[in-house]
Amino acid sequence: MSDLKSARLAVRVTPADEALIRQAADEQGQTLTEFTVQAAVHQAKQVLADRRVFILSDQAWASFTVMLDEPVRSNPALSRLLNRPSVFDA
C-alpha cells in the first residue's frame, strides 16, 4: 500500500528551468511532478547521508550499540574478493 500523498510543495522557477525540467521528465517518461519529487528526494537523501554528526534517540542509540557489539559474521565472498589481486595493480 502506498503512502497517501497529501502534502504539497510549491516552487517558482524561471521559464528556462521549467523547460529543462520538463524535457528531462519527458526523457524519463515521467510527469513533471514525478520527476521533480524523485529528484528532490534523491538529493535530500544524498545531503543527509553526507552528514558527519547524527543525533539518535536513546532507543536508537541502544540498538546501534548492540549491532556494533555483535561478532562479525563470516562472509566468504567478501574474503575471496579481498584476497584477489587488485585490477589497479596491473
Is 5 contained in some domain?
no
Is 35 contained in some domain?
yes
Q: Any alpha helices (H) in 5-70, and if so which ranges? A: 15-28, 32-49, 58-69
49 or 23, higher pLDDT: 23
Is 79 contained in some domain?
yes
49's grid cell: 547521508
Number of domains in the chain: 1
62 or 86, higher pLDDT: 62
Whole-prediction pTM: 0.57
What is the distance between the alpha carbons of residues 12 and 32, in angstroms, rounded to a whole number? 14
Is 24 contained in some domain?
yes
pLDDT-derived band at 51 (thresholds 50, 70, 90) equals confident
pLDDT in tens, 8-26: 999 999 999 999 999 999 9
Residue 54 structural domain:
15-83
Whether the pLDDT of residue 1 is over 60: the answer is no
Is 59 contained in some domain?
yes
